[in-house]
Amino acid sequence: MYWESFGFKEAPFALTPNPSFLFLSAPHQEAFAHLLFAIENRAGFIELSGEVGTGKTTIVRTLLNQLDPETHRTALIFNPILSPLGFMKEVNAEFGLPCDGNEIRDLHALLNAYLLEENRAGRTVVLVIDEAQNLSVEVLEHVRLISNLETESDKLIQIVLVGQPELNALLARDELRQLDQRITVRYHLKPMCFDDTCAYIRHRIRFAADGQEPLTFSAGAFKRIFKFSGGLPRLINGVCDRALLLAYTRERKEVTPAMASLAIADLRRGSPRRRRALQVRALSAALILCVIIIAGFSAVSLHLLPEEKKVTVQVPPPLTSDAARQGIAAQAEQENLYQAVNAVLAAWQVQRVEPVPGQPDNLRALARQRGLVATKLAANLELLGRLDAPALLHVELPGGGERLVALMGFEKDEVSVVPAVAGRSKLSRTELAQFWSGGTTVLWKDFHGIGTRTKGAEKTAGTKALQGLLKQVGCYNGPTDGALNDTTRQSLAEFQRREQLVADGKVGAQTLMLLYRRAGGFFPPGLARAGSTESKQTGRI
């Protein structure tokens, strides 16, 4: 296949939903969090809606993979164009129940007995119905009847309706008002923003190439793909796949804006909406012509007006090493510590640090009190970009001592810092390199406590959690048995190679940070991207 020539282990932009490629943009994180919260709190009825191609199916498949099979029983119905009898048979079959009967009442009774048995065993039963906008009113009425199965204190089944925006119109019908009123959690999945679109494309390339980037997209190509796709993953995949083929035929390692335009044109070719688009373009051209004519008259009129003075924007001179260190040293040590640390804690949405007289300020202790881990490492911006985590940069002062600068975001050539350095909250990478030599402390969360579970049953439980994470990222296919054997270590080393870490098969801080970020279902804060109005990560813990 053409993608193999770049060194990809699988097609990076296949249209088939694949949870292994999961990328959690800000909207996807919120959707995932809503679903997980509703299921764990047994909300009963949940609705997830979104336009075609927003990634709804990928999210629900990832969710089902994330739920522990020891405590959950799950079923996914993805062909809901069925009769009420056919629907009940499909539901029972998915849960492994007899489905040969032709009486809905009997099938319903079997399901009820199963739900009661699972409830007594302390397990949560989840039914996900994809493409729910295609359900008939009669089938939806049976869905409501299934939701009636409950005890005095618990809903016996959690039902997730997933569908396109038409699902909302369907549920708004008068004959379905009882069902609509029972939906306690709703979320409408929106497309990705520009920054998330760029990160999504790079993520899929790196995942399919074991952490490498054998193909890159220029900034102009990113812009054209986003403008065409509107941030919809399915359209992004379609364009990028064609761009990949074009790069293969031209023996190029970078997709240029022109190549992106050709890929977009190829994707549009043959589309049933193309004729309509051409009509719209013709109308747009006529409007543009009118605007040009009006602008011409306006230009003539403007010549009769006096010229305005041009305003020049002064660009600040480059920041020198001495000026940066002097600016940092001017702030008192404790004030600097709290301002930098609180910027990172705010990203995690945890309690701020307040000065306590008589108590030393220890980063590890401050982090531990808030459920976080403080890990000190020697880093560079490339590594911090891969970890995608707000970090505390240690800056050594000429006369001894040090100050902290919180790295909160960066783009290709610019970083955002707190507190401001010599009055500037944005610096070029070159300016930062003049006074920062690599000393870094990263605050992160070990969600499963894997790093602290080192003995006996706790170690086994931690290894099980590790194996689950490795499964989630597609690096482990063995049993979740808690055995830290060669197979588990080799899988861990494979993940480390993919993420450009030292492939030693050991469970280190950097490995765990990236495992939690790649596995999905955990929401550590990420580095903000310059010019973005949305936070890339929720940071809820």
* pLDDT, tens only, 176-207: 988 888 898 898 999 999 988 998 999 899 88
Given this model, what pLDDT does residue 535 score?
41
For 441-455, the pLDDT digits (tens) are 999 999 888 988 778
Q: 45 pairs with which residues across the strands? A: 159, 183
Q: Which two tokens stand for residue 79?
A: 């062909």
Q: Burial letters for 275-306: b for 16+ Cβ neighbours within 10 Å, e otherwise?
A: eeeeeeeeeeeeeeeeeeeeeeeeeeeeeeee
Q: Which amino acid is at 282?
A: A
434 vs 120, 321, 360, 437, CA distance in Å?
A: 64, 5, 30, 8
- Give yes or no for a contact between 498 and 475, defined as CB atoms under 8 angstroms apart: yes
Structure confidence by residue, pLDDT tens digits, 164-180: 999 988 998 999 988 88
Owner of token pair 């940066």 = 324
Average pLDDT over every residue of 263-280: 64
CB atoms near residue 177 (< 10 Å): 11
> How would residue 290 be classed by pLDDT, with cut points 50, 70 and 90?
low
Q: Which pairing describes strands 183-189 and 45-50: parallel, antiparallel, or unpaired?
A: parallel
Q: What is the predicted pLDDT for the residue at 232?
A: 92
> In 386-536, which ranges are E strands?
391-396, 402-410, 414-421, 424-428, 439-444
Q: Which range is least confidently modeled, 145-154, 255-264, 454-463?
A: 145-154
Smallest CA-to-CA distance from 490 within 480, 475, 502, 471 is with 475
pLDDT of 354 over the 60 cut: yes
Work out whether strand 373-378 and strand 439-444 pair parallel, antiparallel, or are unpaired.
antiparallel
Predicted pLDDT of residue 385 = 85
Give pLDDT tens digits for 138-165. Answer: 999 888 888 887 777 778 999 999 999 9
* Residue of 109, 119, 117, 108 lying closest to 153 (CA atoms): 119
Give CA separation, 390 vs 2, 144, 361, 421, 526, in Å: 38, 45, 20, 17, 6
> What was the pLDDT predicted at 283?
56
The single-letter code of the amino acid at 390 is P
d(CA 343, CA 406): 7
Lowest pLDDT segment from 84-88, 282-286, 333-337, 371-375: 282-286
* pLDDT computed for residue 110 by the predictor: 92
Instruction: Determine the Cα angle at 408 with ends 333 and 193, to 5°.
Output: 165
